[in-house]
Amino acid sequence: MSSRPRVSILIPTYNRADYLPQAIRSALAQTYQDFELLILDDASTDRSPESVRGLLADRRVVYIKHPINLGISANRNSGIARSKGEYLAMLDSDDLWIEASKLQRQVDVLDADPDCGLVGTHARVLDDRGVAIGTLRPRTDPDGIRRAMLVRNQIVHSSVLLRRRALDRAGWYDTSLPIWEDYELWLRMGAVSRISNLPLFLTGYRRHAGNTSRFAEEKSLISYRRIYERHRHRYPHAALLGMKVFLLGCQYHLQHPRDGRRRIETQ
């Protein structure tokens, strides 16, 4: 490995001791080995440090524990600031890479196409036990991704390999968004570079029980509204996202008529 690794793997985590070792092992098992691996512990209160102690002997692995909880976007940004690689791979601590060739295939794509700033993959959906329960098959060609992006997110977060130069140009994760911060970043990446997906199942995406709380609904509506306002002139089919935002707002206000309008519109 060179003194300056070509790839930085970022694993943000918070109280994921049951899953974190699997994520790390899936990264260490890659055939592409010129990387550093930064574990970004956002002030976990569980056994996360103890759960991975045996994996820290690898000199490429750095465990960083924040004294206070920064939040997911700020935690990811802290890893970007500390990372050294020309390329950055994102891996959430409850997900994993299910093929050892994942990084090599993606590095080959970015090496071959200097205008490509992001390459993702298809993913298998896993339950809490790691059993495959479905698939995610986003579009793969750059033109198709661009046409569909405002209708539906086409990028699986834990699948991406980013070109640092393009990420710096687009800007990092927006800490002001309460949710969908990764989706908003991909839209900015797509405005400054080409983005694509490999039509291969190289990533495992963990699906947990959905959060249907009022707070989660509020966060979704706030973020979708901001995403629509920021990107409606950059991508085709913005009217469809606008309609989605309108319908989400109507649904929320019907479900919470006493305080829905006041709480959402003051955000």
Ramachandran region, residue 130 (left: φ > 0; alpha: ψ -120 to 50; beta: rest): left
pLDDT of 266 strictly over 50:
no
pLDDT of 31 strictly over 90:
yes
> What does the pLDDT read at residue 242?
78
Split at pLDDT 50, 70, 90, the class of 211 is very low
The tens digit of pLDDT for each residue in 82-128 reads: 999 999 999 999 999 999 999 999 999 999 999 999 999 999 999 99
- Indicate yes or no: pTM above 0.75: yes
Split at pLDDT 50, 70, 90, the class of 172 is very high
The tokens for 67 are 């004294």
pLDDT of 237 strictly over 80:
yes
| Mean pLDDT, rounded, for 68-72 | 97
Choose the weakest-confidence range: 21-25, 180-184, 226-230. Answer: 226-230
> What does the pLDDT read at residue 3?
77
> What does the pLDDT read at residue 215?
61
Split at pLDDT 50, 70, 90, the class of 247 is confident
Q: Could you tell me which residues are beta bridge partners of residue 36?
A: 8
In terms of DSSP H, where are the helices of the chain? 20-28, 48-51, 72-82, 102-112, 142-148, 164-170, 181-192, 214-231, 238-255, 260-265
Q: Could you tell me whether strands 116-126 and 194-206 are parallel, antiparallel, or unpaired per DSSP bridges?
A: parallel
Closest CA to 172 of 74, 36, 42: 74
What CA–CA distance (Å, rounded) separates 188 from 197? 16
> What does the pLDDT read at residue 1?
45
pLDDT of 51 strictly over 80:
yes
> For residue 178, how far is the Cα from the chain centroid?
14
246 or 149, greater pLDDT: 149
The CATH number of domain 7-206, selected from 3.90.550.10, 3.40.50.80, 2.102.10.10, 3.40.50.620: 3.90.550.10
> What does the pLDDT read at residue 72?
96
pLDDT of 265 strictly over 70:
no
Cβ-based neighbour number of residue 265 at 10 Å? 11
| Mean pLDDT, rounded, for 214-234 | 85
**DSSP-assigned states of every residue in 46-74:** SSHHHHTGGGTTSTTEEEEE-SS---HHH
Torsion sign (Cα): 183, 188, 189, 194? positive
The tokens for 46 are 């569980």
The tokens for 248 are 């989400």
Choose the weakest-confidence range: 174-178, 208-212, 260-264. Answer: 260-264
> What does the pLDDT read at residue 259?
56
Q: Which residues of 88-126 are buried (b: 16+ CB within 10 A; e: fewer)?
A: bbbbbbbbbbbbeebbebbbeebeeeeebbbbbbbbbeb
Residue boundaries of the structural domains of the chain: 7-206, 214-265
Amino acid at the residue 227: I
What CA–CA distance (Å, rounded) separates 83 from 162? 12
pLDDT of 163 strictly over 60:
yes
> What does the pLDDT read at residue 142?
96
**Mutual angle of helices 181-192 and 214-231, in 10-degree steps:** 10
Q: Is 75 helix (H, G, I), strand (E, B) or coil?
A: helix
Contacts of 167 (CB under 8 A, 6+ apart): 80, 88, 117, 189
pLDDT of 261 strictly over 70:
no
Q: Quick one: what percent of the chain has pLDDT higher than 90?
A: 79
